[in-house]
Structure 1
Amino acid sequence: MVAIIVPENYGLAVVVALGAIPLLSFIHGTVASSLRKKANVPYPFCYATIEQCKSNPKAEQYNCAQRAHSNFLENATQTMLFILIAGLKYPNAATIIGGAWLISRVAFLYGYVYSGKLQGRGRHLGSTFWLCQGALWALTVFGFARDLINI
Structure 2
Amino acid sequence: MATITVPEGYGQAIAVSLGVIPVVGFMHGVVVGSLRKSAGVPYPHTYATVEQCKSNPKAHQFNCAQRSHANFLENAPQTMLSILVAGLKYPQYATALGAVWVVSRILFLHGYVYTSKPQGKGRYNGSLFWLAQAGLWGLSAFGVAKELW
Q: Same fold (TM over 0.5)?
A: yes
CA distance in 1, matches of 2:2, 2:25: 33
Task: Kindly state the Cα deviation for residue 146 of structure 1 after the two structures are TM-superposed.
Answer: 2.1
Aligned residue for 1:89, secondary structure, equals coil
What is the 5 A alignment of 1:39-118?
Answer: 39-118=39-118
Judge conservation of contact 1:21–1:80 (CA < 8 Å) in 2: yes
In the other structure, the counterpart of 2:126 is: 126
CA distance in 2, matches of 1:146, 1:22: 30
**What runs of 5+ residues in structure 2 fail to find an aligned partner?**
none
**What runs of 5+ residues in structure 1 fail to find an aligned partner?**
none
Judge conservation of contact 1:100–1:129 (CA < 8 Å) in 2: yes
Task: Kindly state the Cα deviation for residue 80 of structure 1 after the two structures are TM-superposed.
Answer: 0.1
CA distance in 1, matches of 2:145, 2:6: 18
Aligned residue for 2:116, secondary structure, equals coil
In the other structure, the counterpart of 1:20 is: 20
Which segment is superposed worse, 30-39 or 137-146?
137-146
Aligned residue for 1:28, secondary structure, equals helix
- How many corresponding residue pairs? 149
Task: Kindly state the Cα deviation for residue 144 of structure 1 after the two structures are TM-superposed.
Answer: 1.8
> 1:24 is aligned with what amino acid?
V
Task: Kindly state the Cα deviation for residue 117 of structure 1 after the two structures are TM-superposed.
Answer: 1.4
CA distance in 1, matches of 2:51, 2:17: 39
> 1:117 is aligned with what amino acid?
K
Q: Please identify runs of 4+ aligned residues in structure 1 that moved more than 6 A.
A: none
Task: Kindly state the Cα deviation for residue 129 of structure 1 after the two structures are TM-superposed.
Answer: 0.4
1:47-80, Cα deviation, whole Å (9 max, x unpaired): 0000000000000000000000000000000000
Q: Tell me if 1:31 matches 2:31.
A: yes
Root-mean-square deviation over aligned CA pairs: 0.7
> 1:142 is aligned with what amino acid?
F
Judge conservation of contact 1:12–1:91 (CA < 8 Å) in 2: yes
Q: Tell me if 1:5 matches 2:5.
A: yes
